[in-house]
Every structure is written in C-alpha cells, then in structure tokens.
Amino acid sequence: MALKIFYLLSILFVVVSSEPFRFDNYSLYKVLPKSLKDVKYLQELQDAAPEFDFWDDPVPTADYINIVSKPELKKDLESFLASNEIDFVITQENIQELIDNEKKKTYTRSNIRTMEFDNYYTLEDIYAWLEDLAARFPETISIIIGGTTYEGREIKGIKISHGPGRRAVFIESGIHAREWIAPATTNFIINELVFSDDEEIKAAARDFDWYIFPVTNPDGYIWSHVGFRLWRKNRRPFGNEFGVDLNRNWNDNWLKESANLNPSSNTYAGPGPFSEIEARSLSAYITDMADKIDLYLSFHSSGQILLLPFGNTTEPLANYYDAMKIGRRAMGALAFRYGTPYTIGNIAEAIYFATGTSVDWVKERLKIPLAYCYELRDRGQYGHLLPPDQILPTSEETMDSVIEILFQAKRYGYMRGPE
Ligand SMILES: *[C@@H]1O[C@H](CO)[C@@H](O)[C@H](O)[C@H]1NC(C)=O
Ligand SMILES: *[C@@H]1O[C@H](CO)[C@@H](O)[C@H](O)[C@H]1NC(C)=O
Ligand SMILES: [Zn+2]
C-alpha cells in the first residue's frame, strides 16, 4: 500500500507572499468506493497522508469522496487507488482554472441592485450590501451583530421584521469558509425576502422575523478570498498551525465524533467546547432569543443532502419523524425547478457521525423545534468550487424549499406566525 511515502512527502500548505496561494495543476478527484474494504483503505490514506485534502470523510454511507491532490502527488494517489482497485475519476484537472473563473466582481456601494447572483462576493461587499439594505428600509430591516471573531471582526447579519409579536426564523451560513455557495445562497434568500413579488415569499417575509447571518466565520471567509481559497476553519493560531473547525466546536457531544485535537486537521474541534469566540458569541446571541425561534437553518456545501439532528447516533431522536416528513416535502419542492436530487436524513445516517455542530446544539440545548443543515450543490463534480453560473439555480431551488418548509411546518403545527 506504500503509505510510507506519504509521510515523507508531507509538506503542509504554506502561504509566504501576500498573493493568494495558487493551485496550479492541483486536481479534484471523485473517488467511488464500492465496498467496506475500499472505505477502510481510504480511511487509512486520510490518516496517513494529511497533504491530501479530503472534502468528504470515507464512511460506508458515502457514494463518493472528493479529494484534492497537489500535482507532485497525483501519481502516488492514482497508483494507491489503482493498486487497491478503487474506482475514481478526475473531475477537474486544474482547479486553479475554476478559481480564476470565480471572477470576483466588485459591488458598487452606491447601487444596491449590483448584488448579483452570478458572482461570489467578498466579506466587505456583503457587509456593505446589508448596510445599504438597512439604510434603505429602516422600518423593516436592521443590522444585527451576532458575535465577534478572533481577529476582532463583527459577525454581521440582518433582521427583517414587519412588526412585533412574530416568531422567528434563524439562518446562518459560511461557518466553513471555503463553502462560498452557502453565503451566496443566503444572500439570495435575503434579496427575495426584501424584493420578491411572489405572494408566498412576501407572506413569509411578513409573517416571521428573519435573523440572517450570511458569514458566521468572517476571518476564515476573508482568508479564503485573499490567502487560501480552500480554507475551512477560523484563523486562530495554535503554534505553527491555524484554525478550529467552528462546526465541531459547539457544546453538544463535543469531540465525540469526526473531530479531533490536532490543530493541523481540518476538523480540529478546538481546545474545548466553545473555545472559539465565533461559536461562543454566536451561541450566546442565539440563546438570548431562543424562545422566539421556530426554525433554524444552517447552509453548507456540498453533496445535496438535507441533514437534521443528531450526528452522534442514527437513532430517531426528538421529533425525527416529523422533521423527516417536512424535509422530504421540502426536497420535493427543491427538485421541482431543476430536478436536483437531495438525500435526507439525520447527520449520522446521511453522511457520517459528526458532533459539536450548530444544529445539534440548538436542537438539544435550546430545544428549537426544527433545525436543518443543508449541504448544497453539487455531487462531486466541483464540490466547494461550484462555478458562479450555478449560484442562481442553486439559490432559486433552495428558496423554493425554504418556503415549502414553512408551509409544511405550519401544517405540522410547528410555525405559528404572528400572534
Ligand atoms: C501544469 O501542467 C501543464 C501540463 O502538464 C504544464 O504545461 C504547466 O507548466 C503546469 N503548470 C504549472 C504552474 O506547474
Ligand atoms: C446523542 O446526543 C443527544 C443530544 O445530545 C443525546 O440526547 C443522546 O442521548 C445521544 N445518544 C447517544 C447514543 O449518544
Ligand atoms: Zn461545511
């Protein structure tokens, strides 16, 4: 199995200049395990060779595993896979090309309409847009601050409210920095709630208070723009390493599954539960308004999966069966527009055992009635580098599903609307 070679070649990504790290000739693999033996070999590879960026954990339920390899290691990866008879395709030969095509347009401050959905925006642009919305619609929109970051930034969001006495929908995205489609989709949801002429969307905007935070890991998001496109964690330093996986840091079953205590890992859970100011301060914000929240949504990529609590067990805990029924209807609505198929299940059954996540925490500690986590498009072709021409369709279908969740949740007695 020649695993030794990977130890020897283990060189961590280091960014030396002020230019973003380049991924020239780095390739994206879609590996297709077909047996438990394949999964076991891939797990060994993941443990032994940290220089491969596994976007998915090799678990028995996985249809595919996305892996990024640097050019020097492609031969090694391919011979490892071939010698173990594990199927794979290279979906992107050179991911730098995808990154170049993300063409970051700048948002023009004076014109609110220039937030478009064929482009990924910087944190600065997103925050400026939110502020413009609040300035333009002071009766209904206000800026909210959900917390702060290690580097001292604000976790800025928006509240949309058409009056007192309403129940709340809470949305967070961008806790994993490189999953750019998540903030983009959240921005689209905001845009629809503010500008749509659709009666159902207008009613949704009117009937609930919306608390929306497009980027809950601002330091990491900035780093994914200016330093390292594939950055996932926050930016707190630990010796020579950086960052905690903020979606393993919440204080529910912390460190039990798919998380670890190694700061060089992409799933480093941090030195303790809520050790990270981003997760801790946002959780305090949510706690203060918990009794208002009927629905909690968290957006990630990728895999086209709708996840519900919990990640520590496949047992159907809490209101699992209702949440599944509502979720299935919502994914039916999502597929209606473009046929995009989603899988649905609790975190442990649908992807892998993973704990310390925001949705588990709000469900267990705050007893939020409905909590869902979306893994948005796609299924292994582009992964976290989803091309900008998929922002709009992804956002539209997701918005359809959010409206359907509200509708079904009402039917099942979960959403009360204005009192
Ligand atoms: C990428 O690969 C191509 C084709 O093998 C090669 O011509 C090119 O020089 C490589 N680019 C870099 C930056 O290594
Ligand atoms: C899983 O986590 C939930 C929420 O913290 C808890 O209620 C349940 O007992 C746990 N189950 C197992 C099998 O660990
Ligand atoms: Zn994620």
Give tens-digit pLDDT for 363-397: 999 999 999 999 999 999 999 999 999 999 999 99
Does the model's pTM come out above 0.85? yes
State the average pLDDT over residues 147-169: 97
Distance between CA 55 and CA 28 in Å, rounded?
10
pLDDT at 352: 84
Residue 5 has a pLDDT of 41
Same domain, 95 and 121: no
For residue 199, what pLDDT band results from cuts at 50, 70 and 90? Answer: very high
Mean pLDDT across 260-265: 93
**Mean per-residue pLDDT for 20-27?**
97
| pLDDT at 307 > cutoff 50 | yes
Q: Residue 12 burial by CB count (10 A; 0-12/13-18/19+): exposed, middle or buried?
A: exposed
Per-residue pLDDT tens over the stretch 26-61 = 999 999 999 999 999 999 999 999 999 999 999 998
Residues 91 and 116 in one domain: no
**What positions carry a catalytic annotation?**
375
Residue 7 pLDDT greater than 70, yes or no? no
Residue of the nearest CA to atom 13 in ligand 2? Answer: 313
The per-residue pLDDT for 259 is: 83
Domain annotation covers residue 23: yes
> CATH code at 15?
3.30.70.340
Kindly indicate the confidence band of residue 12, based on its pLDDT and cuts at 50, 70 and 90. very low
Residue 182 covered by a domain: yes
Residue 351, pLDDT score: 87
Q: Which of 22, 23, 24, 69 to probe ligand 1 with, by most ligand atoms within 8 A of CB? A: 24
pLDDT tens per residue across span 393-415: 999 999 999 999 999 999 999 98
Domain boundary among 99, 130, 164: 99
pLDDT at 2: 42
DSSP secondary structure of 215-256: -S-HHHHHHHHHT-TT--S---EETTEE---GGG-SSSSTTS
Q: How many domains, in total, are found in the chain? A: 2
Please report the pLDDT score of residue 337 as a whole number.
Answer: 98
pLDDT score, position 1: 41
Q: How far is the CA of 354 from the centre of ligand 2 (A)?
A: 12
SS3 34: coil
Pick from 120, 355, 293, 284: nearest CA to 215: 120
| Within a domain: 137 | yes
Convert 94-110 to b/e letters by CB count within 10 Å (16 or more is b): bbeebbeebeebebeee
Mean pLDDT of the chain: 93
Q: Which atom of ligand 1 is nearest to the CA of 25?
A: 1
Do 150 and 87 lie in one domain? The reply is no
Is the CB of residue 145 less than 8 Å from the CB of residue 151? Answer: no
What pLDDT, on the 0 to 100 scale, is given for residue 115? 82
Any domain includes 236: no
235 located within any domain? no
Has residue 9 got a pLDDT over 60?
Answer: no
Q: Is residue 239 part of a domain?
A: no
Does residue 128 sit in the same domain as residue 205?
yes
Report yes or no on 247 lying in a domain.
no
Residues 312 and 261 in one domain: yes
Predicted pLDDT at 340 = 98
Question: 164 — phi, psi (to 5°)?
Answer: -75, 165
Q: Which ligand is nearest to the CA of 245?
A: 3
Give residue 94 CA to ligand 1 midpoint distance, Å.
Answer: 9
Cα of 408 to ligand 2 centre, how many Å? 27
Q: Which amino acid is at 149?
A: T
What pLDDT, in 10s, does the model give residues 74-93?
Answer: 999 999 999 999 999 999 99
Query: Counting atoms of ligand 2 from 1, which one is nearest the CA of 363?
Result: 4
**Residues 79, 179 within the same domain:** no
Q: Are 285 and 146 in contact (CB under 8 A)?
A: yes
Same domain for 167 and 75? no
Distance, CA of 177 to CA of 182 (rounded, Å): 9
Structural domain ending residue among the three candidates 99, 128, 160: 99
Does residue 25 share a domain with residue 149? no
**Same domain as 398, residue 362:** yes
Residue 15's pLDDT is 47
* Phi then psi dihedrals of residue 128, to 5 deg: -65, -40
pLDDT above 90 (res 323): yes
Let me know whether 147 and 257 are in one domain.
yes
User: Is 275 in the same domain as 144?
Assistant: yes
* Residue 37, domain extent: 2-99
| pLDDT band per the 50, 70, 90 thresholds, residue 301 | very high
CATH number at residue 387: 3.40.630.10
Q: Which of 99, 121, 147 is the last residue of a domain?
A: 99
pLDDT at residue number 415: 83
Is residue 238 a part of any domain in this protein? no
Q: Are residues 94 and 117 in the same domain?
A: no
